[in-house]
Structure 1
């Protein structure tokens, strides 16, 4: 364009913008149009670029597309009225990461249309360590049947070691067993036994949401690999349990060692004889962010001798969120009484903190025995944070039918702090500081206030307290246990001679904590029993594989023998209570390895040959 005409076009543009802002905006028919002040305001309102240079060539179609793009961007960025809250988080995330820019959208579209051209096996997420070693081994030489066979044999050797571990215990990191991380401890079946741990992300939808199709199986990628627990070789580990505190994995185990001591005179045929007596030590270690294990902290137990049916209990007591404690109990069902210890979690990473033991007087045992009894049976249960005194989501709201606001200088704020618990006495309600009254009155005032509970027209209890009202008021009210879980109405207020009104609250108790999933064994197979979760499509999850040796044998013959169609039809033991054998389980805990063996490894070899 001629520079003169370009300058005239830009002047004409500026004149139109000024005319619109000065003459049309004050008399605009739309209220939003009367608030425009700057050129940027006009740009956002009319969806046109009113400051574009005359050097830019365009067309009516291109301008329409640009306006539409701007309009869509404004919707997703929350700048367009009328669309607030209408877009789901998933849609907004998809727009930001894949559709908001041409270049990014084009790249994602190519991945969707032609994924085989862009998927690099070595960059795949959720690879097992054995698969990474397979890629490394095949990259060191030309692809041939012999090189692939050697790499496959090495892959299956790694898989065979962890395919049939003895699953001994587990821990659930949370009280909602449908949406929590599950941790497992396994050990080798041959001496010297090595110990391992692994995690699985169990997240199922609430059945009330009507999405039962999502609970047919656990995704193979939800399982992490078995990783070793740093237990020195040669140590006799009797029992081990995992637990999780604030996202950090801990391992608790009991070691048995033998020490010499004099034979009691009643049994000694010759004075001075020595005998070997088994002694036990509890050890606790944690896993650092770098993946290494700390030096274990040790606690010697008083129990000795050969114990029958020993049990180890380990969980996190969350009664005080600011001072959580790891609680450990070790006992023999037919042996001596339980020993317990609680570790104060306000210690540093070297475990150089305070250790509380029962000291022989039983005071600590009395505090934690309810939790230990809760977990001691069944022995194959998965542990979880202790629910007693742990805050739970009670539905507390003002009672619409009986809501009356306290008048006078005491009506600023009234707080209701309730906790729901579950222990060996059953469900109970602990009302801590039910009358946490924050008073907007600056002078101390001593008076009475009343706390009462009702069910229907019946008064269950009523308590009167006398406290100085100069801030937060706490009561020692503690009601337990509740025989039922019917809705309860609690009122907080003042006696009639002081003020005639009270605040009323409806308290609806949540469903009781369900029974935790179990670890069960059937004909050599280990299973996670999720029956307590009430899933419609899933009951048992297979945790081990019994035919790894057969896979190794086929790999020693040839690659074709291993990857044949018949291999994928190897039968496994049936589910508990069923006599029918099942085909290779691609949805079990070892499903990641089967997917890699029959899909990702052939794809990796084909990708190498293609390139």
Structure 2
């Protein structure tokens, strides 16, 4: 623009601003506008730039867009009346981060419209170690069929080693089996057998809230890779189980070794003869934050000789959350006797020795037995924490007035003690009455003390105890098998005649421990059976792959042979409950590798060629 006309235009602008502020504002029909004083006030009210110079080329459309943008900015910044409190914090955050500036908004819009141009394969989350090595191998040379083929063969070599591990055992870190981390132990099928562990984050909605498609499969990215368990070489490991304590992974295994011992006199033909005897040792190690394994702690077992179909139990006892215990059991298939081991959080031995199935005196031994025998059958079940012998939830339902009756369970007079246990028959409750009443003058008063238990659909159980009220009265312990569905009513106190005092208790049980998922095998395939979770669309999750050698053979031929359409139609073994074979399972435990092989690896190569 000519300098003369530019000066005239700016003077004309200033005159209009002065006229508006001096003549129109005092008589403005909008009351809020009558307080405008400066050019900035006018700018915020009319949403126009009244100080722009004549050197800026613009148009009515550009001016309208600028006014609209200023209006939106004023709304999000709380400067525009009428919108206070209408915008959520999420909307305001999104505006400030991604939409308030043209450059940032444009970049985000490109990501939305053309995401394929901004996906960098090397930055993808949840990469396997084999995929990272593939990227590293291909980055070291120019992309060609030969270099890609060599990298693919190396990738499949890594996959082949862990694709068909024998799944030995599992552990669930929590009692909500729909929302917990599952840990698995696997071992190689050939000697010397290396041992591995892996984790999967299981998350399914509650049955009432879940949609039909919510539980069709576990996401492949929910599975971590197989990682080695560092077992000293040359050791004969019989069984191994994982357990988790306060977020830290532990591995428990039983080693077998042979010792020379004197032949018992009853069998010895000559004195001084020696024989070879199998001995067993429990080893316990934990995984550090750096990913290394601690030096195993050893605990020699009393059992020796040949043990047919041994069982190993390992779980965390959470009856006392402040003093959790590691419980380990080792027994034979008969399960008549088991050797138990209990450790505190500092690995001090609290108990070690043989425990009888039906024995126990209510102390730690009984609690150990409850947990060990709960897990012996089925042997293919996943183990989990238990809160055996935890205090039950007891409430006073009513309390008739009586000479010695005081309202409330903690009346320090007559009260009920309950504890929960678990054995191979299911949950049971132990109930007994106590009183610290001291009655009598020279000698403790002796009277009848009655314990009555009412269960739905059964005759009342009633016992009358002749006891001295010396402050330490206790009845015998009554053990009841319960399912936890219905409460029971317990009355405790004096008979209805004479001294009238009876406390009534409504005993409500916590939910019983549900059945845990199982590890099953069928035609060489290993599966996780989730029937106990009651899912609508999923029961079996495939845990291994049997055709890894075929993938390696195709990769040795060519890249095209490996990535052909036919390769993705290789048949898997049929599910245990079905006779129909399935095609390559992209939703199983090894689904991450198949997604990488047929999607992420081709994309990584194409990205390299594109750049």
**Do they fold alike, i.e. is TM over 0.5?**
yes
2:73 counterpart residue number: 66
Distance 1:73 1:270, change over 3 A: farther
Distance in 2 (alpha carbons) for counterparts of 1:503 and 1:49: 76
Out of 519-528 and 267-276, give the one that drifted further: 267-276
SS at match of 1:193: coil
2:283 counterpart residue number: 283
1:379 counterpart residue number: 379
Distance in 1 (alpha carbons) for counterparts of 2:81 and 2:326: 51
Is there any run of 5+ residues in structure 1 with no aligned partner, and where?
Answer: 24-47, 405-409, 436-449, 468-474, 496-501
Distance in 2 (alpha carbons) for counterparts of 1:589 and 1:319: 33
Q: How does 1:113-132 map to 2 (within 5 A)?
A: 113-132=113-132
Distance 1:521 1:63, change over 3 A: same
Distance in 2 (alpha carbons) for counterparts of 1:268 and 1:503: 66
1:233 positional shift: 1.5
Distance 1:272 1:133, change over 3 A: same
SS at match of 1:213: coil
Distance 1:417 1:226, change over 3 A: farther
SS at match of 2:316: strand
- Find the partner of 1:102 among 98, 101, 119: 98
Out of 54-63 and 512-521, give the one that drifted further: 54-63
1:268 positional shift: 4.1
SS at match of 1:209: coil
Distance 1:115 1:298, change over 3 A: same
Q: CA RMSD in A?
A: 4.9
2:324 counterpart residue number: 324
SS at match of 1:378: coil
1:603 counterpart residue number: 603
Out of 541-550 and 97-106, give the one that drifted further: 97-106
Distance in 1 (alpha carbons) for counterparts of 2:68 and 2:604: 46
Distance 1:434 1:589, change over 3 A: farther
1:533 positional shift: 0.9
1:481 counterpart residue number: 480
**Residues 163 and 545, structure 2, Cα contact 8 Å, conserved in 1:** yes
Out of 207-216 and 329-338, give the one that drifted further: 329-338
Distance 1:74 1:592, change over 3 A: farther
- Find the partner of 1:80 among 60, 85, 99: 85
1:148 counterpart residue number: 148
Out of 109-118 and 211-220, give the one that drifted further: 109-118
Distance in 1 (alpha carbons) for counterparts of 2:177 and 2:189: 29
SS at match of 1:358: strand
2:166 counterpart residue number: 166
Distance in 1 (alpha carbons) for counterparts of 2:463 and 2:239: 49
Distance in 2 (alpha carbons) for counterparts of 1:506 and 1:588: 47
2:7 counterpart residue number: none
**Residues 433 and 476, structure 1, Cα contact 8 Å, conserved in 2:** yes
**Residues 586 and 595, structure 2, Cα contact 8 Å, conserved in 1:** yes
**Residues 571 and 584, structure 1, Cα contact 8 Å, conserved in 2:** yes
Distance 1:593 1:504, change over 3 A: farther
Distance 1:357 1:536, change over 3 A: same
**Residues 428 and 479, structure 1, Cα contact 8 Å, conserved in 2:** no
SS at match of 1:377: coil
SS at match of 2:256: strand
1:194 counterpart residue number: 194
Residues 282-328 of structure 1: CA deviation (Å, up to 9, x unaligned): 00001111111111110011111221111101111111111111100
Distance 1:509 1:290, change over 3 A: same
1:543 counterpart residue number: 543
| TM-score in terms of structure 2 length | 0.73
SS at match of 2:532: helix
| TM-score in terms of structure 1 length | 0.73
Distance in 1 (alpha carbons) for counterparts of 2:487 and 2:251: 41
Distance 1:385 1:114, change over 3 A: same
Distance in 1 (alpha carbons) for counterparts of 2:595 and 2:230: 29
Distance in 1 (alpha carbons) for counterparts of 2:297 and 2:140: 43
Distance in 2 (alpha carbons) for counterparts of 1:422 and 1:75: 64
Out of 359-368 and 233-242, give the one that drifted further: 359-368
1:577 positional shift: 2.8
**Residues 317 and 385, structure 2, Cα contact 8 Å, conserved in 1:** yes
**Residues 252 and 282, structure 1, Cα contact 8 Å, conserved in 2:** yes
Distance in 1 (alpha carbons) for counterparts of 2:278 and 2:610: 62
Q: How does 1:196-211 map to 2 (within 5 A)?
A: 196-211=196-211
**Residues 487 and 507, structure 1, Cα contact 8 Å, conserved in 2:** no
Distance in 2 (alpha carbons) for counterparts of 1:378 and 1:74: 69
Distance 1:67 1:368, change over 3 A: same
SS at match of 2:252: strand
Q: How does 1:374-523 map to 2 (within 5 A)?
A: 374-389=374-389, 422-424=422-424, 426-428=426-428, 481=480, 483=482, 485-488=484-487, 511-523=511-523
SS at match of 1:221: helix
1:294 counterpart residue number: 294
**Residues 489 and 504, structure 1, Cα contact 8 Å, conserved in 2:** no
**Residues 572 and 581, structure 1, Cα contact 8 Å, conserved in 2:** yes
Distance 1:482 1:264, change over 3 A: closer
1:499 counterpart residue number: none
Distance in 2 (alpha carbons) for counterparts of 1:133 and 1:488: 59
Distance in 2 (alpha carbons) for counterparts of 1:246 and 1:188: 29
Distance 1:288 1:208, change over 3 A: same
SS at match of 1:327: strand
**Residues 301 and 339, structure 1, Cα contact 8 Å, conserved in 2:** yes
1:447 counterpart residue number: none
1:570 counterpart residue number: 570
**Residues 418 and 434, structure 1, Cα contact 8 Å, conserved in 2:** no
Is there any run of 5+ residues in structure 2 with no aligned partner, and where?
Answer: 1-12, 36-42, 53-62, 401-405, 436-449, 495-501
Distance in 1 (alpha carbons) for counterparts of 2:505 and 2:246: 33
1:342 counterpart residue number: 342
SS at match of 1:386: coil
Distance in 2 (alpha carbons) for counterparts of 1:142 and 1:377: 57
**Residues 315 and 383, structure 1, Cα contact 8 Å, conserved in 2:** yes
1:246 counterpart residue number: 246
1:434 positional shift: 13
1:227 counterpart residue number: 227
Residues 209-239 of structure 1: CA deviation (Å, up to 9, x unaligned): 1423210000000100000001012110000
- Number of residue pairs matched? 526
1:61 positional shift: 3.1
**Residues 397 and 507, structure 1, Cα contact 8 Å, conserved in 2:** yes
1:333 positional shift: 2.3
Distance in 1 (alpha carbons) for counterparts of 2:410 and 2:605: 68
SS at match of 2:544: coil
SS at match of 2:337: coil
